[in-house]
Structure 1
């Protein structure tokens, strides 16, 4: 059986990581000012409903 080529595997992981960080950097550059990465459909609906910014109560899971 052939021996594993750990250098190749490591290089592939490094390239994937570099590619991912570059994509993230590009998304940040292309994002318009004042807009988040996540869809804000819930935030817009809450603002239209007169949301005061208070956090909703957490359910009690005792039981």
Structure 2
């Protein structure tokens, strides 16, 4: 009977954990950048310089 390859399983688990952390960081960055983009656009639309 074949033995279980624990190193492979451990590596897969580590890769899954790393992928999950990276996705979490990306979501956090998108969340932080979206409100800033909205607030930056609003003052530009409100300030109209008429000559």
State whether TM-score is above 0.5: yes
**Unaligned regions of 5+ residues in structure 1, if any?**
35-63
CA RMSD of aligned residues (A): 1.4
Hey, which bits of structure 1, 4+ residues long, moved more than 3 A?
Answer: none
Give the TM-score, by structure 1 length: 0.50
Structure 2 runs not aligned, ≥5 long: 37-51
Instruction: Tell me the number of residue pairs that the alignment of Structure 1 and Structure 2 aligns.
Output: 34
Q: What's the TM-score, normalizing by structure 2?
A: 0.61
Higher relative contact order (CA 8 A, sep 6+): 1
